Structure 1
Amino acid sequence: MQYPYVLLHKRMVLLLILTVTLFVILVKLGFWQLARGDEKSQLFEQMQARQAAPALTFSQALDKSQFEDLTAYRLRVKASPVSQQIWLLDNQVYQGQVGYLGFQLMQLDADQPYLMVELGFIAAPHDRRQLPHIDPIVNEVELIGRLYQRQINPLSHKLLAEDGDTVRFQNLNLTEIETAISHPLLAAVLQPDSLPHLSLPHPWQPFPISAQKHWGYAVQWFAMATVFAGLMGWQGVKLLTRNRREAKD
């Protein structure tokens, strides 16, 4: 009669270890998402303060880029196009449309780094072999807008640029763009408030996931932990009841 109790004991121990292990993992994931949400909330407040501050000069932006991310700082420059070549960032989505984000390289002086300027979003043609046309900046222009640096995705960060009059590329990797053009580049992109010859939309998404989404994910992880603990507890009670019944029989 002792054997069922030994078997029951082993089953209960294994069930308890599994429950505690997975419960701890789920709870830790919830707290991690809470921390990420708090971090994003602080960064959002920092960005608001940056956007309220006076616009930087190009020299000030270069200095700051040596020791901090430039996202949300405002910049005012007079710049001329390096060329009329358009760079198209692939696989962008804006208001449900799939398309490209257009860019153009600009320069202030020949001995200074170039500045990548966002021209805006344009929908993709139905035929992927065709690239949309964006009118480039052709003369010196005064630009004012906000800077941003995209977070690097470790799983997909290569430039993967295609040769051509218009360059289609897959990831906004400014370091690899520097290598491709053989010239230094400011470590941020300028999203101008407006352009004199274009009225394309300029999506603003400094973070892939907002603080609110992180907090929402945290609630989901905590809910999963609660439901899992309840299910495992119910299974434990069923197992204990069944083995007691078998022992009586």
Structure 2
Amino acid sequence: MTASPTRSHTKALVGIVLLILLGSVCLQAGRWQLGRAGQREALSAAMQAGRVAPRMILDAQHPQGPDWHPAAATGHWLNQFTVLLDNRNLQGEPGFWVATPLALTATPHTALLVLRGWVPRPLPPATLPDLRTADGSVTVDGTMLSHVPRIFDLGSITGHYDTALPSSWPAADGHLPRVQNLALSDLQRATGLTFLPVVLEQSPTHDAGLVQDWPGPSLNATQNYNYAGQWFSFATIALLAAAFMTWRIWHPRSSPASPKAPPTT
């Protein structure tokens, strides 16, 4: 038994609609990849400009500047407010970033958060090395960022971030607080300090054996262009298939003539 023409047309129309929807989704995915490529190219240009820019001196009168620009600040370390940023790997080895506020010389109640470097995660029974810095005035050089680089956590989905900062400093157990991500506003509330609206990734230096090898963002725009080309290819295939099916509906093939029955004798 063959399907009726109406039923066949309905199935074809459903297929056409689905193909058009698939093509639209693929087009949007391709446009998103082009947008990501543009963002990465702009980021690469900003980083290149920062490398050749003059160094800024950060203080209360000059509290911020563009990302990736070199900067320096003078003050003394506030070791009691050091925070460990967890799950920061270096060349596949698990470890922590060490973040310590630097109280500015001219305005001691104003601080700059400095990402001092990376330390490997110790395996029990080993413990972390002494991460305290020497007392006295220091000048710290580094690269400015508008915030502490984030890594994925469930809070980015739920909107509820786990800061895990102690209610009082130093922590009662004497251990340094560990967090996955750190916002300046959270650290400001926990410490009572006023922070400059930037952070500083410290340049390579001798600091408690820490490693200042900061992973930069991915700048491979070519990869995004390749993905965009693939998505646009998928969209083209889907839309051409929809066009062909539409043509078949409006231009059905004529049925072949039935053979005549042989004459009876």
Question: Given the alignment of the two structures, is residue 158 of structure 1 paired with residue 196 of structure 2, yes or no?
Answer: no
Whether the 8 Å contact between 1:86 and 1:103 is mirrored in structure 2 is yes
Q: After superposition, where does 1:114-193 map in structure 2 within 5 Å?
A: 114-126=111-123, 132-139=128-135, 140-148=137-145, 149-150=147-148, 154-155=156-157, 158-163=161-166, 164=171, 165-193=175-203
Question: Given the alignment of the two structures, is residue 201 of structure 1 paired with residue 211 of structure 2, yes or no?
Answer: yes
Q: Number of residue pairs matched?
A: 240
What's the counterpart of residue 21 of structure 2?
Answer: 21
Which stretch shifts more, 77-86 or 199-208?
A: 199-208
Q: 1:104 to 1:36 in 2, by over 3 A?
A: same
TM superposition score normalised by structure 1:
0.78
Q: Give me the whole-angstrom Cα distance separating, in 2, the residues matched to 1:92 and 1:248.
A: 75
Question: Given the alignment of the two structures, is residue 59 of structure 1 paired with residue 59 of structure 2, yes or no?
Answer: yes
Deviation track 1:43-88 (CA, whole Å, cap 9, x = no partner) reads: 22122112211110113884445xxxx3201112222112344311
What's the counterpart of residue 102 of structure 1?
Answer: 98
Q: Give me the whole-angstrom Cα distance separating, in 2, the residues matched to 1:157 and 1:75.
A: 32
Residue identity in the other structure for 2:91: Q
Question: Given the alignment of the two structures, is residue 45 of structure 1 paired with residue 45 of structure 2, yes or no?
Answer: yes
Q: 1:178 to 1:38 in 2, by over 3 A?
A: same
Q: 1:151 to 1:33 in 2, by over 3 A?
A: farther
- Residue 207 (structure 1) shift: 3.2
Residue identity in the other structure for 1:22: L
Whether the 8 Å contact between 1:120 and 1:200 is mirrored in structure 2 is yes
Q: 1:20 to 1:60 in 2, by over 3 A?
A: farther
Q: 1:182 to 1:35 in 2, by over 3 A?
A: same
Q: After superposition, where does 1:75-94 map in structure 2 within 5 Å?
A: 75-94=71-90
Task: State the SS of the aligned residue for 1:118.
Answer: strand
Whether the 8 Å contact between 1:77 and 1:142 is mirrored in structure 2 is yes
Q: 1:125 to 1:183 in 2, by over 3 A?
A: same
Whether the 8 Å contact between 2:163 and 2:179 is mirrored in structure 1 is yes
- Residue 218 (structure 1) shift: 2.5
Q: 1:29 to 1:51 in 2, by over 3 A?
A: same
Deviation track 1:82-130 (CA, whole Å, cap 9, x = no partner) reads: 2344311111122111221111111113455211111212222345x98
Whether the 8 Å contact between 1:159 and 1:173 is mirrored in structure 2 is no
Task: State the SS of the aligned residue for 2:68.
Answer: coil
Which stretch shifts more, 147-156 or 47-56?
A: 147-156
TM superposition score normalised by structure 2:
0.74
Residue identity in the other structure for 2:202: P
Q: Give me the whole-angstrom Cα distance separating, in 1, the residues matched to 2:52 and 2:59.
A: 19
Residue identity in the other structure for 1:204: W
Q: Give me the whole-angstrom Cα distance separating, in 1, the residues matched to 2:212 and 2:61.
A: 21
- Greater fraction helix: 1
Whether the 8 Å contact between 2:63 and 2:196 is mirrored in structure 1 is no
- Residue 223 (structure 1) shift: 4.7
